[in-house]
Amino acid sequence: MPVRFGYREAAHLLRRAAARGRKEEAQKLVEMGLEAAVDSLLRDPAPAPAYTTAFTRSERGPQLQEITRLWLSHWLTTPTPAAERLALFWQGHLTSEYRETRAAQGIDFYNQLGTFRALGYGPYGQLLRAVAKDPVMLLYLNNAESRKEHPNENWARELMELYTTGPGHYSEQDIQEAARAFTGWTVRLKGNQRPREAPASVPYEFVFRAQWHDPGPKTFMGRTVQSGDEVLDVLIAHPETYRFVGRKLLAFYLTPEPPQALVEEGAKVFRDGGARGLLRWLFTREEFYAPQHRNAIVKSPVEYVVGLLYAARQTDPVLGKNDEKAMGRTLTTFAAMGQVPFDPPNVKGWDGGMSWLAESPFLARLNLIGALAGKEKGIDLEVFMDGASGPLSLVKPEAQLL
């Protein structure tokens, strides 16, 4: 049965895919028809602006403000906003904490975001291989310091528990053997510069140090392997990887507890067609538009802010008065709402769901409405939320939902 694709469905699609939209865009999608609308939303991402900084390596706070501003203003202006919501997904899945990864600079985190954007739609294995060599990840989960004498297990453990198969499909032994395989995967500053002397715009890059690597054979998941690449081969071929990560994608795009049958089918689609294949499959299915799946996801603070500012036609993501301290205040507000971009609370990422609406974070996002004072007139909430009838609707429950 063909999916009915009218204005309501188009608004729902736009909100879920991109977390931003206005009335005329939803209307345009209706005119295109479902298939073309989905293809248009999922086209290759437009390039993001480059980042350089005048701040020094010790001034990490201001750098975080800069990259947050650069990213969110890109999200607010790009013709391909769906790629940015997907990049947010990857940032919450293949996690690195800005505050905890003290050696890495704004440029390193911005480059990591670039990887999520560039490879986010493609085969998951390709993205995973890139992230395994991503300097921020190597620094965050300490593989950059892992040597054969006594391997560091942090990356090996989270790689399996959080990034591929999920718990229950490997042993402690597998973790220790994988950790051996990844010894020697480390980082250096570009051009081999010294951290003390280099400007903050000089990024880290991957380097393999053979003298740190344990070259012996390892028994990993019942196979004999030698290198970290071979460990990744095993995990990329593992069907549980696609069930586990595919399920997370469905929870992010469809409903927090996706039905098992969809998870099973989705895992196959994800394995064969990457995230783009999965999203294309999902967005053209009837279930995606079913009443029980509408208004089923709580907007994260980043999605809430992007959606709200876009509805108010604001392209600079500062909250409140736009003075020189604006971006610092904006990040404080994000922290109060429970989501600082580039800085998930732990390696598992943001919990999401109703936890965004616990008393304190919920209050912080409601108080944002005050910052819109004076801009209410032009605000277009048609895509931002279901059932809007003027700016006062922002205190309706639907305003919190995607």
Partner 1 sequence: MDRRDFIKKSLLTLALGQGAPSLLSRSALAAQSKDKILVVVNLFGGNDQLNTLVPYRNELYYRKRPNIAVKREEVLDLGARGERLGLHPQLRPLMSLWDGGELALLPQVGYPNPNRSHFIATSIWHTADPTRKEEHGWLGRWGDLQDDPFCDTFLGGASPQALQGDKRTAPAISSIETFSIRLPKAYEEEFDRELKQARSGTVEEVRRAMLSLRGALDKIGKLREVKNKVQYPDNSFGKSMADVARMIAGGLGSSVYYTTLGGWDTHAGQPPRQAELLGYLAQTLAAFRQDMRAIGRDKDVLVMVFSEFGRRVEENASFGTDHGKGGLMLVLGGGVKGGLYGGEPDLEDLDDGDLKYRTDFRNVYASALSWIQADARTVLMGDFKPLPLF
Provide the binding-site residues for partner 1, judged by CB under 8 A: 100, 141-142, 145-154, 157, 161, 167, 172, 292, 295-298, 336, 338, 345-348, 351, 354-364, 366-367, 369-370, 373, 392, 394-398, 400-401
DSSP class of residue 58 equals: T
Give least dist CB 316 to partner 1, A: 22
The answer to whether 32 touches 64, Cβ cutoff 8 Å, is no
3-state secondary structure of 287: helix
Q: Is 392 exposed, middle or buried (0-12, 13-18, 19+ CB in 10 A)?
A: exposed
Give least dist CB 179 to partner 1, A: 8
Give least dist CB 129 to partner 1, A: 23
Give least dist CB 157 to partner 1, A: 7
CB atoms within 10 A of CB 365: 22
Give least dist CB 387 to partner 1, A: 9
What CA–CA distance (Å, rounded) separates 140 from 296?
33
Give least dist CB 83 to partner 1, A: 26
Nearer to partner 1, 27 or 152 (CB): 152
Nearer to partner 1, 58 or 292 (CB): 292
Query: Cα dihedral sign for 366, 371, 377, 383?
Result: negative
Give least dist CB 294 to partner 1, A: 9
What CA–CA distance (Å, rounded) separates 35 from 13?
12
Nearer to partner 1, 48 or 160 (CB): 160
Nearer to partner 1, 114 or 352 (CB): 352
Nearer to partner 1, 47 or 215 (CB): 215
Q: Which residues contact 50 (CB under 8 A, 6 or more apart)?
A: none
The answer to whether 217 touches 224, Cβ cutoff 8 Å, is yes
What CA–CA distance (Å, rounded) separates 385 from 15?
8
What is the Cα gyration radius of the chain? 22
What CA–CA distance (Å, rounded) separates 191 from 368?
44
Nearer to partner 1, 19 or 34 (CB): 19
Nearer to partner 1, 126 or 346 (CB): 346
